[in-house]
Amino acid sequence: MTKPGSSLTYIFLFDPTRLISDELRNSFTNINKYRIENFTELDEVTQTLGKLPLGRKYTRVCIYVMYGITGGDDGKDKLAEFYSGIKKFDQEMNVICLVNMSEKANEKKPGIPTSCIRVQNNDNAILRITNHILGIISKENLERKYISAKRSVQVLVLFILFILAVAIGSYFLFPQYFG
């Protein structure tokens, strides 16, 4: 069970060969903060995503870590196809991050959003994926704290204005106490 005010982070791994899933599980061992699921089919990810209680109350970040998605047999890019399938969940979740391991780190492909992070497939790939995920979580935490601080200042200003309005109103209603 998560603490009140904390959110779960779902990390969905599409890793048919299970090359990175075990190593990433070792990086995110706290089950109160992270839920890691491994999938071998892209359709399973979309179906599970549709069943999850996602939203601001339940989860802060939903991250998809993909491994080995390249062009399919028919020449279509599976990552672009998958992204178009999960686009409908974009508004329900705070963050969707696609991380794909490829041969080139900054490789751009049509149909794939610019928010998709491409990590070069080398010895440091697991560390880089872990750092990207933790960076996104930290960014989301900072944004939430900023909003919370902004609301606190707004409440303080409203309280001070209310006290001033009461003081001014009482000055005119009860001048004998201020004389």
56-68 pLDDT per residue, tens: 555 655 666 666 6
List the one residue out of 112, 13, 123 whose CA is nearest residue 71: 112
DSSP readout, 132-164? HHHHHHHHHHHHHHHHHHHHHHHHHHHHHHHHH
* Residue 139 sits in the same domain as residue 153: no
Q: What is the pLDDT of residue 1?
A: 47
Q: Which of 24, 37, 30 minimizes the C-alpha distance to 130? A: 24
Within-domain flag for 60: yes
For residue 171, being part of any structural domain is answered with yes
As a whole-number percent, the residues of the chain with pLDDT over 70 amount to 63
Q: Is residue 102 part of a domain?
A: yes
Chain-centre distance for alpha carbon 27: 17
Residue closest to 119 by CA, chosen among 134, 132, 109, 135? 132
Whether 13 is in a domain gets the answer yes
On the question of pLDDT at 156 being above 70, the answer is yes
Nearest by Cα to 130 from 63, 70, 80: 63
Q: What's the pLDDT at 150? A: 97
Question: By residue range, what is the domain housing residue 163?
Answer: 148-177
pLDDT at 76 over 60: no
Which tokens in the block code for residue 131? 């750092």
pLDDT range class, residue 173, cuts 50, 70, 90: very high
- What is the domain-level CATH number for residue 138? 3.40.50.10850
Examine residue 137 and state whether it is found in any structural domain, yes or no.
Answer: yes
Domain assignment present for 2? no
- Identify whether residues 110 and 39 lie together within a single domain: yes
DSSP letter at 174?
Answer: -
Give the rounded distance of the alpha carbon of 129 from its chain centre.
14
19 and 78 belong to one structural domain: yes
| Tokens coding 113 | 């959003």
In a domain, 3, yes or no: no
* Coil vs helix vs strand at 120: strand
Q: What is the number of structural domains in the chain?
A: 2
**98 in the same domain as 26:** yes
CA distances, 178 to each of 162, 170, 171 (Å): 19, 9, 7
For residues 23 and 130, give the distance between their C-alpha atoms in angstroms, rounded to a whole number. Answer: 10
78 occurs within a structural domain: yes
Taking alpha carbons only, the member of 10, 37, 44, 31 closest to residue 136 is 10
The answer to whether residues 101 and 48 belong to one domain is yes
Q: Are residues 108 and 156 in the same domain?
A: no
Same domain? For 118 and 156 the reply is no
Amino acid in the structure at residue 168? I
* Percent of residues, the chain, with pLDDT higher than 90: 17
pTM of the model: 0.72
Integer Cα distance of 105 and 119 in angstroms: 5
